Structure 1
Amino acid sequence: MIDSHCHLDFDDFTDDISEVLERARNQGVTRFLIPGTTPSGWQRQCQLHGQHDDIDIAFGLHPYFLQQDNEQALGSLEQQLAHAADQAVAVGEIGLDATVDVPEKEQIAVLDRQLSLAKEARLPVILHHRKTHHLLLARLKATGFDQGGVIHAFSGSKEVADAYRDHGFLLGIGGTVTYSRAKKTRATVAAMPVSALLLETDSPDMPVCGYQGKRNEPVRVTDVAAELAAIRDCAVNEIDAATTNNYQRLFSSN
């Protein structure tokens, strides 16, 4: 089983990262992908990648953390991808977020540049969305991005899911589906072919049902898998095998 999206480089895990990893490994989690959010975090990601054979990393500029001088940050990303090309399996976490205090025009400019860098590097992307599905789909079309990737923390309709799949994207399924109130997303996930899905936690955020208010950890990806199996009326090992295969297929070139 693979946690395809966990921020283990965050300060939340500084004091007990070894224990966090062991708890997950003991429950059958075999790989962890840490997406990048800021230039200052990339060094910690590289350190963890060097210390643990089962950690993959990606570099990107998250819309939450965009600064006034985004040109400098984009230049740093270009250099990071050039100097650590053998380490990155993707460009991300990147995307668009309608809830942050960053002008939409600026977010789009940064996203387009990162899509261009990913295309040049022949890497998939990890896309963040919040009330921006229509904008993201428009940018994928406008830029002609064709490297595929994953829609992190997917929530939405089957129509939106199919549109992303048409662009070569998988859907990252996390804690949202463990809540019965997420009826639309649960129905969409049930209707998708299992070949379109990845498991994730977004640790330390997005806790699964029953763990609200607590730090999320990669071990909880097992709860996501169990809920996904229940929604789809299949065995957990089927979900495990399929999503592991999907992960390896998406990130196989790196």
Structure 2
Amino acid sequence: MIDFHSHLDLYPNPVETADEVQRRGIGVLSVTTTPSAWIGTSRLGQGRPAIRTALGLHPQLASERKHELKTFDALLDKARFIGEVGLDGSPGFKASWTDQSRVFRHILHACNDAGNKIISIHSRRAATPVLDLLEEFDGVRSSLLHWFSGSRAELERAISRGCWFSVGPAMIAGAKGRSLVAAMPRSRVLLETDGPFAQLRRAPLEPWDIAVACLSLSNIWNVDYPEAESIIRRNEATLLAGQ
């Protein structure tokens, strides 16, 4: 199975974590928070075929790193995966909303033109404006909403647009998260950890903790663990095949 949203480069010992990922045979989409981090982070995947690196510009860094959009554009052809990108409507980031919107619009426009990109999207307290922009750039088809926490109406809108959802142990630990996951089409659900930022029982999540999320999904879906794992693997294959 694949951890579709991990900040592999931000673990205390990224090389050690990457080696353990490879040893366990787990796939990891290693998202970046700035375009300038992509080249260095990509080295963690060298000789480790289970690891792929996404080219990102985190919305919380939009104001201070918007000048890196030139770097983003220069690297775009080398990256099939994009992330972490998106919008954050939390109170602490409202001052950067204009920059966030400009950056995310630029990224979606570039991905729309390039085609065949899988995009891991941050939408905390911003699901509606994220979906508005996705509808504006209709050529962006493989949009993966990371740790979706919007309303049920926003979820239904995302489902109607054909979005994917990556869910992790920290999200499913809460009642709202479980309720949202239960309403997601099983054929559109993937796994993530958001480690090392996300925690469970006060410990940072590791990429192999996707197994915890899969176990939770088996309970939510009322199927046994092997069936939940089978569903996830089919979903992974479908997304990666570009369908």
Contact 1:37 1:62 in 2 (8 A): yes
Pairwise CA distance, 1:15: 6.0
TM-score by length of 2: 0.89
SS of 2:198's partner is coil
Who is 2:199 aligned against? 207
The one of 45, 54, 69 aligned to 1:74: 69
1:95 and 2:86 aligned: yes
1:239 and 2:234 aligned: no
List alignment gaps of at least 5 residues for structure 2.
Answer: none
Identity %: 28
Who is 2:105 aligned against? 112
Instruction: Identify the structure with the greater helix proportion.
Output: 2
1:50 and 2:46 aligned: yes
Who is 1:160 aligned against? 154
List alignment gaps of at least 5 residues for structure 1.
Answer: none
Query: Where does 1:212-227 land on structure 2 (aligned, <5 Å)?
Result: 212=202, 214-227=203-216
CA RMSD of aligned residues (A): 2.1
* Partner deviation per Cα, 1:42-95 (whole Å, 9 max, x = no partner): 02222112221111121011112224461x31111010113x2xxx23221110
Contact 1:20 1:217 in 2 (8 A): no
Matched length: 239
Pairwise CA distance, 1:36: 2.1
Looking at structure 1, the residues matched to 49 and 22 of structure 2 have their Cα atoms a distance apart, in angstroms, of 13
1:135 and 2:129 aligned: yes
Q: 1:165 to 1:54 in 2, by over 3 A?
A: same
Contact 2:195 2:207 in 1 (8 A): yes
Looking at structure 1, the residues matched to 184 and 172 of structure 2 have their Cα atoms a distance apart, in angstroms, of 17
SS of 1:12's partner is coil
